Structure formats: C-alpha cells, structure tokens
C-alpha cells in the first residue's frame, strides 16, 4: 500500500538528531524553526522508503518504558509533521478507477460531529438512568460535557482499577465522512478519538480499536478502494501516536461510519484532572477554528447557488487552501500540546469539537473547583473563513464560538507566566502556532466571548507552496 493514494505522506524516520537540534534551538531561542523543519524534510527525502519501514518495524512496542516511549513518540511526530511537507495533492477518484464524481461525503446525510445527538436530547434520554448514580460518582470530575452523576454521555472516562494505583482512561467516538479523501478521513477519525486522551494530559495510548461501517450504497469497487484507504489512514495515525490498532468491528450500514476506541492504563501522575483553573490564568488554544466553515465552503464549489453567496469574499483557490488546512489541522495529533501541558503546569484543558469553542469553554468552566469565569478575546481562524462565515448570514456562528469543529485544538488554562513559553515551545517542536485567546477571572463558572473579538487570520500571510 506504500504510496497508494497518499504520496505526500512520509512515514516515521529516525529523527533523533533533528529533534535534539530542535530542542537545543528551543533553549537558545536562536535557530529559526523553519530550518529545523527543512532539515527534517531533507532527511526524510534522503531516506529510502524501505529503510524507513525497517525503522518503523524496529521501533519499540508500546509497553516499553514511558520515558523511551515519549522520546520515540516525539521523533515519530516530528518525522510526520505535515507542516514540513508540500501541500497534499487532492484525492483523485479516477486514479483509483472510481468515477470522477465519486464523493465520500455523499455516503451519509449528516457530516462529522453534526451527527451527534444534540446535548439537550441526550440529557433527556439519559434521565432514566439517574437512579443508580452511586457507583459512578468518581467520574463526574472528568466529563467534558458535564452530566450530573451519570457517566454515560461524556467523551472520556477514568476508572480506578483493581491493580495497585492504576487507572483506566478510555474514550470512544465515531462519525460520518466529512472530507473526500478516504485516507485523510481515516487519519482524522483516529486523531479525533485520541484527542480526548490528550485533553486529559494523557500522552500514551496503550491500545486502539477501530469501528467501521461500510455503506450499503457503495459499489463493490468503491468499497474495495475506499475502505482499505480509510483503514490505512486510521492505522498510520495510530502509529504516529505510538500506539496500535488491535481489533475492532466492521458492519454494513446505510451511512459510511468511521471511529474508534482509545484506551490507556496509567499512573495518577499521567493525567491532569481538568478542574484547577485559578484567577490570573490565561486560555491557550492550539489549533485555529473554522474547519466546519471550510468543509462546507469546499462542498459549495459544486453548488452554484451556494457558491454565489460567498464568491465575493473568497476565491476558489482560497477555499481549496482552507480545505487543505482544515484536513491537515484535523489530522494533526494534540499529543505535543498534551505533553507540554505537563511541562508548563496546565491547570485544566479540554478539546474543541462538536459544541464549538464556546460550548467546550463553558463545559470546562463549569467543572472548575474555584469560582472562576473564562473570557475569550481572540479567535484564531483559518484564513478567509471568518469572512465566509459572515457572508453566508452567520449560519455557522463562528464568531459567537458556536461553529462545530472536528478534531480541534486543546483549550488550556495555563499560569499566565507560563503561557507564552508554552506557545513558543509548541511552535519549536511542531512548527504550528498556538495562541493566548483569553483570561481566567473571578466568576461563576461560565465562559463568554467578548462582543467584538479580534479575529486572527491563520496563517497571517500566504507563502508559496506551503500550507501554513
């Protein structure tokens, strides 16, 4: 399958040396990040594929020492940093003997996290389970969506184990296709599942299961091309995360479905309970917003009526680029962001997904122990997508923080004096920006976005042949 439909995705290479250099550079704050990345890219290009695969096969299994695993994982991530690569070629169905008008997203009527049962409906459905709450009290601390005294409905759970001092951290998620490229769809699904672990500061995943439904509307040909690409994408992303996919379930279903389960068994010091924000902290966001706007705008390229509504504020090229950026962003692991949470003493974090920035900020605020409130001043948004959002009558409510994201960034409460260093560090290690977007002040456990937030275009300036 090497090179099968995803020529620009280069597998993990032995970049220990580069990583060390980057780490030195970080300390000295001297060597520009771009050089380290170009170096990485150069090394990868020089390394024959076969050798890369050997290195991959020889990489230690996931039950090695945590320290080694961390170092190894850092290498893997740096090695696969898509930022170091040229822009990914769009998925071409005809290159796989499929019809030119094949669209993966047509195999479901709901997209991405739009398929989730609305929060208020879910709460209603869960009401009947409230009467045997006792056994689950310990879970209520760890919910992303706080549902009083019911464990079901949250994205991730922490369960104390029978074995001394260890806890089981688990999360599951599945949804419908939101991009046309099956390989990228697989990666995004995997990154999205893992993101819930990372939000809790858990950087090691011990095992993954893959949940897959083949659409009953696919032809055999479509099935035989698309499903292995999705599986491969999922598996490659798991590999980037230093984990493996050891099982799963595959069924037939009207809508194509992809998701998984991520499981970690860890010591208490491996996770960060997201309830310790204090007045004076600042809020950091590690990925730009606007994926939902970009994915929709991209589909509108085929729908003249829709396209006419936004073509005054954005070019076709802008939309294609925003779409590529969204894919890259959604497929990117929040693992480095999670690792650095430990280094910079993060007080609480969540990942931004289906309920939008504000929805998740509010859920996080609600679970704080201290009487705090979150105020958001800045909105980093994928370039041009704020304008698109406005042009189509604000249907996404992007600037109100309500636009759904898939596999979005981490929203982290950091001590004020650490936040700038955190952002600088993530840029050094990964080559991606992070932003201070707000503050933690005295309050009643709510979150809000100020009236006219500053929109930060990401990237601020187009660079030829580069994504960010």
Q: Which residues, numbered 314-343, are part of the site for a second copy (CB under 8 A)?
A: none
Question: Quick check: 146 binds a second copy (CB under 8 A)?
Answer: no
> 99, 224, 371, 441: which one contacts a second copy (CB under 8 A)?
224
Question: Quick check: 124 binds a second copy (CB under 8 A)?
Answer: yes
| Segment interacting with a second copy, rule: CB under 8 A, options 40-48, 169-177, 273-281, 377-385 | 169-177
Question: Quick check: 9 binds a second copy (CB under 8 A)?
Answer: no
Q: Exposure pattern of 132-165 as b/e (b: 16+ CB <10 Å)?
A: eeeeeeebbebbbbbbeebbebbbbbbeeeeeee
Residue 115 known to be catalytic: yes
Within 10 angstroms of residue 243's Cβ, the number of other Cβ atoms is: 23
Q: Which residues, numbered 63-92, are part of the site for a second copy (CB under 8 A)?
A: 63-66, 69
Q: Which residues, numbered 236-295, are part of the site for a second copy (CB under 8 A)?
A: 239, 244-255, 257, 259, 261, 263, 265, 267
Q: Which is nearer to a second copy, 143 or 327 (CB)?
A: 143
Q: Report the alpha-carbon distance of residue 2 to residue 11 in Å, rounded.
A: 10
Q: Which is nearer to a second copy, 9 or 426 (CB)?
A: 9
Within 10 angstroms of residue 81's Cβ, the number of other Cβ atoms is: 23
Closest contact distance (angstroms) between CB of 128 and a second copy is 4
Number of residues that bind a second copy (CB under 8 A): 89
Active-site option among 115, 256, 392, 413: 115
Closest contact distance (angstroms) between CB of 195 and a second copy is 14
Query: Which residue matches tokens 């930060």?
Result: 456
Q: Report the alpha-carbon distance of residue 267 to residue 289 in Å, rounded.
A: 33
Q: Which residues, numbered 189-208, are part of the site for a second copy (CB under 8 A)?
A: 204, 206-207
Sign of CA dihedral 20, 26, 31, 35: positive
Closest contact distance (angstroms) between CB of 349 and a second copy is 18
Q: Report the alpha-carbon distance of residue 185 to residue 176 in Å, rounded.
A: 9
Query: Which residue matches tokens 């497929």?
Result: 331
Q: For residue 310, what are the CA distances in angstroms to 110, 178, 393?
A: 22, 20, 10
Q: Decide: 396 and 293 in contact? Cβ < 8 Å.
A: yes
Question: Quick check: 216 binds a second copy (CB under 8 A)?
Answer: yes
Q: Which is nearer to a second copy, 23 or 168 (CB)?
A: 168
Closest contact distance (angstroms) between CB of 233 and a second copy is 11
Side by side, the strands of the sheet bearing 447-458 are 348-351, 410-414, 282-285, 435-442, 372-382, 447-458
Q: Which is nearer to a second copy, 4 or 8 (CB)?
A: 4
Q: Which is nearer to a second copy, 233 or 389 (CB)?
A: 233
Strands (E), 386-446: 410-414, 435-442
> 55, 209, 301, 420: which one contacts a second copy (CB under 8 A)?
209
Question: Quick check: 162 binds a second copy (CB under 8 A)?
Answer: yes
Q: Which residues, numbered 93-122, are part of the site for a second copy (CB under 8 A)?
A: 109-110, 115-117, 121-122
Q: Report the alpha-carbon distance of residue 271 to residue 419 in Å, rounded.
A: 19
Structure letter (DSSP) for residue 383? T
Catalytic residues: 115
């Amino acid at each position: 399958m090497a090179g099968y439909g995803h020529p620009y995705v280069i597998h993990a290479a032995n970049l220990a040396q580069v990583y060390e250099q980057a780490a030195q550079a970080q300390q000295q704050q001297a060597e520009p990040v771009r050089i380290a990345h170009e170096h990485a890219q150069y090394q990868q290009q020089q390394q024959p594929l076969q050798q890369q695969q050997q290195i991959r096969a020889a990489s230690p299994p996931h039950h090695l020492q945590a320290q080694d695993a961390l170092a190894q994982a850092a290498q893997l991530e740096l090695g696969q940093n898509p930022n170091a690569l040229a822009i990914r070629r769009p998925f071409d169905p005809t290159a796989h003997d499929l019809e030119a008008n094949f669209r993966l997203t047509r195999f479901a009527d709901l997209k991405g996290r739009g398929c989730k049962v609305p929060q208020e409906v879910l709460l209603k459905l869960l009401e009947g389970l409230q009467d045997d709450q006792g056994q689950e009290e310990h879970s209520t601390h760890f919910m992303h969506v706080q549902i009083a005294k019911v464990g079901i409905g949250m994205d991730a759970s922490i369960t104390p184990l029978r074995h001394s001092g260890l806890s089981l951290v688990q999360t599951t998620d599945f949804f419908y296709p939101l991009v046309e490229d099956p390989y990228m769809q697989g990666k995004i699904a995997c990154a999205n599942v893992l993101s819930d672990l990372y939000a809790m500061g858990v950087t090691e995943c011990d095992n993954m299961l893959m949940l897959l439904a083949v659409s009953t509307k696919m032809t055999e040909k479509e099935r035989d091309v698309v499903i292995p690409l999705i599986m491969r994408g999922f598996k490659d992303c798991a590999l980037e995360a230093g984990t493996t996919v050891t099982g799963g379930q595959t069924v037939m279903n009207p809508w194509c479905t992809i998701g998984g389960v991520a499981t970690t068994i860890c010591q208490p010091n491996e996770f960060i309970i997201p309830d310790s924000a204090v007045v004076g902290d600042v809020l950091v966001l590690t990925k730009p917003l606007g994926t939902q706007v970009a994915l929709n705008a991209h589909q509108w390229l085929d729908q003249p009526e829709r396209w006419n509504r936004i073509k005054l504020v954005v070019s076709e090229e802008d939309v294609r680029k925003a779409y590529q950026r969204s894919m890259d962003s959604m497929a990117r692991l929040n693992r480095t962001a999670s690792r650095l949470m430990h280094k910079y003493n993060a007080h609480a974090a969540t990942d931004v997904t289906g309920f939008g920035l504000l929805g998740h900020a509010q859920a996080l605020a609600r679970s704080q122990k201290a009487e705090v409130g979150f105020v958001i001043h800045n909105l980093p948004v994928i370039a041009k997508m704020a304008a698109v959002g406005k042009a189509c009558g604000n249907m996404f409510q992007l600037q109100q923080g309500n636009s759904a994201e898939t596999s979005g960034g981490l929203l982290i409460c950091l001590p004020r004096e650490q936040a700038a260093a955190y952002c600088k560090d993530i840029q050094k290690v990964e080559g991606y920006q992070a932003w201070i977007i707000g503050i933690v002040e005295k309050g009643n456990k709510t979150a809000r976005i100020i009236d006219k937030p500053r929109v930060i275009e990401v990237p601020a300036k187009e660079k030829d042949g580069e994504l960010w």
